[in-house]
Amino acid sequence: MSSDAITIFDTTLRDGEQSPGCSMTTDEKLEVAKALVELGVDVIEAGFPIASPGDFEAVKRIAQEFGSRTTICGLARSKIDDIQRAGEALKHAEKARMHVFLATSSIHREHKLKMSKDQIVQTAVEMVKRAHDLIPNIEFSPEDAARTELDFLCEVVEKAIDAGATTINIPDTVGYATPDQFFNVIRHLKQNVPNIGKAVLSTHCHNDLGLAVANSLAGVEAGARQIECTINGLGERAGNAALEEIVMALRTRGDHYKVHTNINTPKLFPTSRLISRITGMQVQRNKAIVGQNAFAHEAGIHQHGMLQNRSTYEIMRPEDVGYVGTNLVLGKHSGRHAFRDRVKHLGFELTDELFQKIFDEFIALADKKKDVFDSDIVALIENHTGESTDEWQLLNFHTLAGTNVLPTATVEMKRNGSDEVIREASTGDGPIDAIFCALERVVQVSATLRDYHVKSVSSGKDAQGEVSVEISIDDHNYHGKGLSTDVVAASAQAYLKALNRALADRKANAK
């Protein structure tokens, strides 16, 4: 690999999925892995196989399906059982990597591991060797490296490389580093570890102080050639370095960084939306690169400048990141052809069957609402993804509510693979609560509603409403989204989606 190529290591499916409420089903993980392959990431960290049967299954299936196109990585603590389990999950990938970690900072050594420096070195060496016996491509991370004494860090890194590690990842586990300090850690390792030339140095920065991207870029300037990051900056606590920000900073400021990545940047926006839909984690409107306002110019003086020459106020073109705005696009007379072109332009490839379904919904929507925007079309399409694997489907519902009446709801539902229609009814505090209770009765799961949001997809009183819910069942959180011009219908879809996710999770972890 040339010295100006940066390896993009995506950990959305591991560190990202670890953040509360962001858990994904195996099918969703496969959908994310496919999107990451198409985005062009070099390494996908698909999960932590020992963590649960569901995690193991997901890593194994991703390794089987995508392991010939992209390197698939599985995480393991420095423990024999972890390493064996990761080796088992990864064995079908043509390009497999195992990521072994062990904390090295004095705080972690003394309070968490209760191990001496010598024991840390010995364990790291032994476990890297064990992992290397199973998979030749080994990454080693000294956890909390950014708070580790530099001389000890050099010792661990040198021994891990001697034991077979070919990537050395430097985590700022608690997001404590500053760009200057992180630069110095990487530079110190480059200058003081005698065998450092045999390994690629990598960054893994958390965002507790909002410095994850800045620290990762400082690492690149000091000589790191792999960056670990996540879509939308998902991850433990305040998250990890955001992939889209890293990639666009390196590309837009190529004059400064003089490195490149393999990322297919027009896929950044669609991938960000996919992750947001699947994890239920909303992207803030003013988020760099993928926020809805990232390319919106409101101020008159800016608009005037843009009309004269876009470069007055624009450092990246929206199309370079696949940005979808709220352009007014089509009306009900636009026809199939124009609709198909628009769908293609938005970056979707649909089967004929799904295209017909979405086209019918588009016509129905155009009948109900005056203006149909790009964002409406994207929302209609995204609303259908993943539905074929849902265990329960809502066929019809009816609600009754008003002043001085007891709110009630009835639902008609069907289980995947069966034609039997099941009906249930319930009362509630309001029509939405009543419908949630009726859904729970059919599915026979009782959940606690933790969060409920409704937002409009585009503008106007007749806009489609997108409802997001988060529920909790047995200490696990699940989310769901629903879409309709009727918020009761959108709420029912969102709640059922979350219940379906909980059922899929139970099934995956019962194996």
Which of helix, strand or coil describes residue 376?
A: helix
Strand order in the sheet with 448-456: 448-456, 465-473, 476-484
Q: Name every residue whose Cβ is closer than 8 Å to that of residue 481 and which is 6 or more positions away in sequence.
A: 277, 280, 383, 466, 467, 468, 469, 493, 494, 497
- Site membership for Zn ion, residue 45 (CB under 5 A): no
Which of helix, strand or coil describes residue 389?
A: helix
- Site membership for Zn ion, residue 139 (CB under 5 A): no
- Site membership for ligand KIV, residue 108 (CB under 6 A): no
In the block, tokens 């890194």 appear at: 157
Closest CA to 76 of 46, 32, 106: 46
**In the complex with ligand KIV, which residue's Cβ is closer, 36 or 483?**
36
- Site membership for Zn ion, residue 228 (CB under 5 A): no
Of 56, 66, 101, 182, the one binding ligand KIV by CB under 6 A: 101
Q: Confirm if 424 and 441 have CB atoms less than 8 A apart.
A: yes
**In the complex with Zn ion, which residue's Cβ is closer, 155 or 172?**
172
143 binds, among Zn ion, ligand KIV, none (CB under 5 to 8 A by kind): ligand KIV
Q: Any idea of the CA torsion for 257, 258, 263, 265, to the nearest 10 degrees?
A: 70
Phi, psi torsion values for 317, nearest 5 degrees? -90, 135
Which of helix, strand or coil describes residue 312?
A: helix
141 binds, among ligand KIV, Zn ion, none (CB under 5 to 8 A by kind): ligand KIV
- Shortest Å, Cβ 169 to ligand KIV: 6
Near Zn ion by CB under 5 A, which window of 12-20, 27-35, 283-291, 366-374? 12-20
Q: Confirm if 208 and 238 have CB atoms less than 8 A apart.
A: yes
Which of helix, strand or coil describes residue 281?
A: coil
Q: Name every residue whose Cβ is closer than 8 Å to that of residue 474 and which is 6 or more positions away in sequence.
A: none
- Shortest Å, Cβ 257 to Zn ion: 23
- Site membership for Zn ion, residue 15 (CB under 5 A): yes
- Shortest Å, Cβ 2 to ligand KIV: 26
Alpha-helical runs (H) found in 169-312:
179-192, 212-222, 243-252, 254-257, 268-279, 300-308
- Site membership for ligand KIV, residue 109 (CB under 6 A): no
- Shortest Å, Cβ 234 to ligand KIV: 12
Of 54, 67, 171, 386, the one binding ligand KIV by CB under 6 A: 171
In the block, tokens 């198409």 appear at: 38
Near Zn ion by CB under 5 A, which window of 7-15, 24-32, 114-122, 270-278? 7-15
Residues 172-211 that bind ligand KIV (CB under 6 A): 173, 204, 206
In the block, tokens 């300037």 appear at: 221
What token pair was written down for 128?
Answer: 């890297």
- Site membership for ligand KIV, residue 390 (CB under 6 A): no
**In the complex with Zn ion, which residue's Cβ is closer, 15 or 82?**
15
Nearest position to Zn ion, beta carbon: 15
Near Zn ion by CB under 5 A, which window of 14-22, 291-299, 326-334, 353-361? 14-22
- Site membership for ligand KIV, residue 28 (CB under 6 A): no
- Site membership for Zn ion, residue 470 (CB under 5 A): no
Residues that bind ligand KIV (CB under 6 A): 15, 101, 141, 143, 171, 173, 204, 206
